[in-house]
Amino acid sequence: MKKVALIPARYGATRFPGKLMAKLGGKSVILRTYESTVNTGVFDEVMVVCDSEIIYNEIVNNGGKAVMSKKEHECGTDRIAEAIEDRTDVDIVVNVQGDEPFTQKEPLEKLLKVFEGEEGKQVQVASLMQVLKDPQSIEDPNYVKVAVDKKFNALFFSRSVIPYPRDKNVQSIYYEHIGIYAFRRQTLMDFTKMPVSPLEAAEKIECLRYLENGISMKMVVTEYMGVEIDTPEDLLKAEKLL
C-alpha cells in the first residue's frame, strides 16, 4: 500500500493567529511538524497542504514538499481531499495536524497497521486515542472523549463526559480522541461529499459525520503525542520538551 501523510496548514487561527509560523526552538511549528513526520520513516510521501504563501515558502525553502489549496475549506479534511483528488496511486492517507510538532513514529505505525491483513481490509478510517485520567480534563469540553466497543470501533464522540459515571462503584475508562486520522483514499473523497450531519453540527466534531453515515471508525490506543499548539501557553510548554 502507498501511504501518504498530508498536513493541512491554515495560517489563520482563532485562538492563536499565525501559530504555525511561531518559533519553537528556532524553527517554526509547521516546519517542526513536517520534519518530525518525515523522520518517522513510515510514509512514502509527506506534504503540507496550505492556504498561505508564507507557510508554502517556509516548507519549500527548507527542502520540504508543499502545495497550495485552491479553495477555502471548512476543515482540514476537505483541504487534504482536494490535494489528493487526482492521486489515484495513493492507498492510505494520514491527516497529521499542523500544530503537532512532536509527531512520533510508534503511534503512526500502530495506526497504519490496522489496515493490514484480512481484517484490515474492512477498515475504512482509523484514528488515535489515549487514556484520560485527570478528572478536570475529563470534564473539560475542549477534550473530545470517545466511547468504543469491544473491538475498539468508535461508538460515539462527545465533548461531554462519556460514559457518565452514574454508578460511582464502576471503574470506567475515559479515552481522549487525538485528531490524527488515517483514511482509505476513496473514503476520504466520499467524506467531503457528505453534508454536515446533525450530531457533528451540535458537537463540532467532524468525525461524527462518519458514524452518522454508518461508517465504522477503528480507534487505536496510544501514548500522548506531545503538545498540540493551540495557545501561546502551549508554545511555552512545548519549549520545555525540546
Q: With cut-offs at 50, 70 and 90, classify the pLDDT of residue 39.
A: very high
Q: Is the pTM of this model over 0.85?
A: yes
pLDDT tens-digit readout, 121-141: 999 999 999 999 999 999 999
> What pLDDT shows up at residue 79?
84
> What pLDDT shows up at residue 62?
97
State the Cα torsion 127-131-137-140 to the nearest 10°.
40
Q: Locate the DSSP E strands across 51-174.
A: 66-68, 92-95, 125-131, 145-148, 154-158
> What pLDDT shows up at residue 158?
98
> What pLDDT shows up at residue 181?
92
- Average pLDDT for residues 234-239, to the nearest whole number? 88
CATH code for the part of the protein at 1-100: 3.90.550.10
Residue 76 has pLDDT above 80, yes or no: no
pLDDT tens-digit readout, 149-171: 999 999 999 999 999 999 999 99
Q: With cut-offs at 50, 70 and 90, classify the pLDDT of residue 228.
A: confident
Q: With cut-offs at 50, 70 and 90, classify the pLDDT of residue 75.
A: confident
- Average pLDDT for residues 9-23, to the nearest whole number? 84
Residues of the chain with CATH 3.90.550.10: 1-100, 105-178+185-225
Alpha carbon of 99 to those of 1, 11, 48, 74, 228: distances in Å?
Answer: 27, 11, 12, 17, 6
> What pLDDT shows up at residue 54?
95
- Average pLDDT for residues 12-27, to the nearest whole number? 86
Q: Which residue would you say has higher pLDDT here, 242 or 64? A: 64
> What pLDDT shows up at residue 225?
60
CATH code for the part of the protein at 105-178+185-225: 3.90.550.10
Backbone angles phi and psi of 203, in degrees to 5 = -90, -20
Q: Is the bond preceding residue 163 a cis peptide, omega within 30 degrees?
A: yes
Q: Are 191 and 209 in contact (CB under 8 A)?
A: yes
